[in-house]
Amino acid sequence: MDTKFTWSITQKGEKALLYKNYLYGLRRENKNGSLVYACTNKSCPRVITLKNDAIIQYDVTRHNHDPRLADDVQNVFTGLKRRVITDVDKSIGKIYEEEVKKFVSNLAFAIH
């Protein structure tokens, strides 16, 4: 199974898991230490189980909506690359922080 994923953020600025262009937020922690991440679309029941930052289980059924966040997520990374090249005198950490803030405020309008 494909277990490649990246970390992203939700519109509330919380840590989220990005898997196949869908965004998942932390739902709960199991007693065995694994973490259950649920699709951030509230009407969508898809979940992913993570342990030690690795996907150990995921729901293979289809989402009931399009991966609308893909473009926004792509934008933040493209913007990031461009700024790292142009703002050579700024630290990368600072640029990242600014881009993430911009991303969060854009996202608030973009989804649902």
The residues binding Zn ion (CB under 5 A) are 39, 41, 44, 46, 63
Q: How far is the CB of 104 from Zn ion (least distance, A)?
A: 20
**Between 39 and 76, whose beta carbon lies closer to Zn ion?**
39
Q: Which helix (H) or strand (E) holds 48?
A: strand 47-51
Q: How far is the CB of 39 from Zn ion (least distance, A)?
A: 3
**Between 60 and 88, whose beta carbon lies closer to Zn ion?**
60
The rounded distance, in Å, linking the Cα atoms of 66 and 84 is 31
**Between 46 and 99, whose beta carbon lies closer to Zn ion?**
46
Q: What percent helix, strand, coil does the chain show, rounded to 5? A: 30, 30, 40
The values of phi and psi at residue 67, to 5°, are -75, 75
The rounded distance, in Å, linking the Cα atoms of 24 and 38 is 5
If you search the block for the tokens 């640029």, which residue do you land on?
A: 95
Q: How far is the CB of 37 from Zn ion (least distance, A)?
A: 11
Q: How far is the CB of 33 from Zn ion (least distance, A)?
A: 25
**Between 39 and 69, whose beta carbon lies closer to Zn ion?**
39
